[in-house]
Structure 1
């Protein structure tokens, strides 16, 4: 799950949820919800998370697409 992977990255960087939230410009609650799978980050938020975590962009975007893009129908993609 994307949230589990983001949590592992955050912890490996020695950041608290609050510290990461401050770097990203969201609330600590939002970070908690993303990590627990209760909220999906918007693409701009995901990009800020990648930057704040100094994470490999391609890898994190792959996790995101594996988890969320299959839910889109072909019609949604065309729009």
Structure 2
């Protein structure tokens, strides 16, 4: 089964680049199958990691950034892949 973990944070206005750099520098103790880092308006940063694991598996996640870098706690979601991803 493939599980995707999503981590999304919103930076303090004007600190989007700093939050993006911070997220990109965060290592994980185990490498996922795939990792993507994205950004969006309003200084938002999204990191998605894909894992070959069961849905409830204990998987490493990115930590919370320093409180002076974000406007609110990080949002986290977990999804499982369904069907053929190429159809």
**Common fold by TM > 0.5:** no
Larger Rg: 2
Q: Which has the higher contact order (CA 8 A, sep 6+)?
A: 2
**Larger fraction in helix:** 1
TM-score with structure 1 length normalisation?
0.32
